[in-house]
Amino acid sequence: MTKGITKRNEDYAQWYLDVIAAADLAEHSAVKGCMVIKPNGYAIWEMIQAQLDRMFKATGHVNAYFPLFIPESYLQKEAEHVEGFAPECAVVTHAGGKRLEEPMVIRPTSETIIWSTYKNWIQSYRDLPILINQWANVVRWEMRTRLFLRTTEFLWQEGHTAHATAQEAEEETLKILGVYRDFAEQYMAAPVYVGIKTDKEKFAGAVRTYCIEAMMQDRKSLQCGTSHNLGQNFARAFDVTFQDESGKLQHVYATSWGVSTRLIGALVMSHSDDNGLVLPPRLAPLKVVLIPIWKEESEMEKTKQKAAELTANWHDQISFRIDDRDQYRPGYKFNEWEKRGVPIRIEMGPRDVAADQVVVVRRDTGEKIPMPQQDLLPRIQKLLEQMQNDLYQRALEYRNAATYRADDYKEFQSAIENPGGFFWLHWCGNPDCENRFQETSKATIRIIPMDGEKEQGPCIVCGKPSQQRVLVGKSY
């Protein structure tokens, strides 16, 4: 736990793993590609879950639970879907001591099992819309895994909605995209670009995939959430029809959308520094740690007692902890809570007690702020909101400063290597040009903006006319 953290600019990938280890968030398990989410990491997931769940419910969604297992034949019903997911599936062939007649895959995503169920739930337009979300584990067999960012099993939420019209489905897809953007910006303090995926990058089975993309501190892009308009693809595959108001039989329109424990990776990489984890206050499970300090044994009781008095009415109002462990020195404790990303540390020594003050230390800036003990809690709460905003602003400035426009392919190729970043490029829409990019620069089109400035220009690859720029970057 006291081992050092590699500096970001020395080895970014190792820094990321070191921050996770120092904050005790997760570790690789003995099971290939699976992680153990340790209590400190899981507490962040609980914060994420609680807030997103509130936002889903506020927009009319309810939770449900569908089976972990999907009969292989279900997966095969939607052609693009099976092509996209079959290679990643874990397959159960035996159970209860016997070989199964039909193998079952562990859900990599639940469209097929859910639409096979919706078939029985939907007859008439009166049964629509269905607005269901599920919190669950899913499995995708990954060759190269990385804690939180890409693991064989991960936790996520997946929304699956059913609608009577194409327009309603599109509105739902965009509504959730808005929820994801708000969550990223207001809670994760992570500015995101929102837009549409290219056909090559869209979800296997979707008509259109929208997503939010955030820039990490290595200037790479992390896809943080996706919202898919599935059109009638799954309704056709599972023959889910409804009688509309005029009595006509139609296929149902679908959406699906999800975010996962990957968001914890995004949080770690958005704000942390060379001293360890930095968390935006709104998603920090523990917001304040108060460290009473004493030199003489004789001062100990008084300082501890003052700490208890000071926080006596805090219990229902803020998540805090008093670290009055006797066997560790203050410096050790400062370091420990810093690594764990607790937003605010309060130091209180005998002189502070005498002067009716404390010293408040911001995790993000290291700034030390003396504060009177009177009305301390509202001051702390105000400071936490300030930190939340500051983290967002810093991330926004960082991203904006590393986002460029490029019109020359050679210059782009060089710039994406060094310094790296996001690049707005003209692209004609031809998948061949998209492939060319990817092969020569290892970068991908992250999004096509939905309401981007229309601007004529030549495709950076082939020179043919393009109507708008797209966002390109390397990604996780």
Q: Which residues are at the interface with a second copy (CB under 8 A)? A: 27, 29-31, 34-39, 41-43, 45-46, 62-71, 74, 86-97, 103-104, 106, 113, 116-117, 120, 132, 136-137, 139, 141, 143, 153, 155
Nearer to a second copy, 153 or 201 (CB): 153
Q: Say how far apart CA 312 and CA 203 lie, in whole Å.
A: 51
The alpha carbon torsion through 436, 437, 439, 442 (nearest 10 deg) reads -170
Give backbone dihedrals phi and psi of 229, rounded to 5 degrees, phi first: -90, 110
Q: How far is the CB of 172 from a second copy (least distance, A)?
A: 17
Nearer to a second copy, 139 or 443 (CB): 139
Q: How far is the CB of 459 from a second copy (least distance, A)?
A: 36
Q: Say how far apart CA 322 and CA 324 lie, in whole Å.
A: 6
Nearer to a second copy, 74 or 427 (CB): 74
Q: Which residues contact 208 (CB under 8 A, 6 or more apart)?
A: 173, 196, 197, 202, 228, 229, 231
Nearer to a second copy, 27 or 218 (CB): 27
Q: Say how far apart CA 26 and CA 436 lie, in whole Å.
A: 37
Q: How far is the CB of 328 from a second copy (least distance, A)?
A: 12
Kindly give the residue spans of alpha helices, DSSP state H, lying in 355-422.
376-401, 409-417
Lookup: tokens for 260: 């996962």
Q: How far is the CB of 74 from a second copy (least distance, A)?
A: 8
Nearer to a second copy, 139 or 222 (CB): 139
The single-letter DSSP state of residue 127 is G
Q: How far is the CB of 181 from a second copy (least distance, A)?
A: 26
Lookup: tokens for 332: 């050790």
Alpha carbon 160 to its chain's center = 19
Q: How far is the CB of 11 from a second copy (least distance, A)?
A: 24
Q: How far is the CB of 228 from a second copy (least distance, A)?
A: 21
Scan for tokens 């896809």, then name that residue. 223
Q: Say how far apart CA 135 and CA 65 lie, in whole Å.
A: 8
Nearer to a second copy, 61 or 181 (CB): 61
Nearer to a second copy, 134 or 217 (CB): 134
Question: What is the dihedral sign for C-alpha 136, 257, 19, 28?
Answer: positive
Q: State how beta strands 221-231 and 69-71 pair.
A: unpaired
Nearer to a second copy, 137 or 440 (CB): 137
Q: How far is the CB of 163 from a second copy (least distance, A)?
A: 17
Look up residue 91 and give its amino acid: V
Nearer to a second copy, 87 or 458 (CB): 87
**Measured CA distances, 336 to 18, 323, 360 (Å):** 14, 11, 16
To 5 degrees, how large is the angle CA 162–CA 164–CA 167? 95
The single-letter DSSP state of residue 273 is B
Q: How far is the CB of 448 from a second copy (least distance, A)?
A: 31
